[in-house]
Amino acid sequence: MNIPTRGFTLLELLVALAVFAIMAIAAYGGLRSVLFTRAAVEEQSRRLAAVQLAVYRMEQDVEQTLARGIRDEYGEPQPALQGGALASDILALTRAGWDNPLGQPRATLQRVAYRLREGRLWRLYWPVLDRGGLIEPRETLLLDRVREFKVRFLDADDTWKNDWPWPAADGEAERRDSAALPRAVEVSLILEDWGEITRLFPLAG
């Protein structure tokens, strides 16, 4: 006895293909959204790590500042800590605790500066404190997409100063004691993507 066979009609095939196409488009859209979300999360994670590292480096430098002035490449004395909007480097200081794992013949003190160029924040340091000649600093890129970098200084009278050492008042012949250090340094980073980030770093002692 022959059993009659019946295949799919053209209409059934078209309906099946349409349903499959709709499901495939929905699945691709979901996968694409997941991939974009994952890429965005990874980018934000990298950005957060970079910001945290930059803030950590500044914190380590500021909190280990010592009252040790230097002489620049022209032989001119420079304060142990200086900075502000009008300074060539927004923040420059002498810090202790420069690691020397190879036992090189050098000091454990280090002259460090922070400089903003074309939206990038750089950390500079010099291999010697008193340069006595043209010695190029070594630079490390800390952070990009930085719109503005500002500092303020808290003096012994709990007064905020925009520059350190601050300019002399009327009738004074020169600036305040250049060996004096502030009680704390406030750092503000204005980022293109995250807005303003402000941190307060107290100095030792």
pTM to 2 decimals? 0.76
Provide the H-helix boundaries in 116-202. Answer: none
Helix (H) or strand (E) holding 54: helix 10-63
Cα Rg of the chain (Å, integer) = 30
**What would the 3-class secondary structure string for 57-68 be?**
HHHHHHHCECCC
pLDDT tens column, 65-103: 999 999 988 888 999 999 998 787 999 999 998 776 666
Q: Which of 10, 15, 137 is nearest to 72 (CA)?
A: 137
Tokens of 146: 């930085």
Instruction: Give pLDDT, residue 31.
Output: 72
Mean pLDDT (whole number) for 130-148: 90
Could you tell me the residue ranges of all domains in the chain? 58-202
Closest CA to 149 of 202, 183, 113, 182: 113
Helix, coil or strand: residue 53: helix
Residue 170 reports pLDDT greater than 70: no
- Is residue 181 pLDDT above 50, yes or no? yes
Highest mean pLDDT among 18-27, 65-74, 116-125: 116-125
Which tokens go with 136?
């190029």
Residues in the chain: 205
Q: What percent of the chain has pLDDT over 90?
A: 53
- Yes or no: is domain 58-202 CATH 3.40.190.10? no
What is the per-residue pLDDT across 37-55, written as a single tens digit (0 to 9) for each?
A: 777 778 889 999 999 999 9
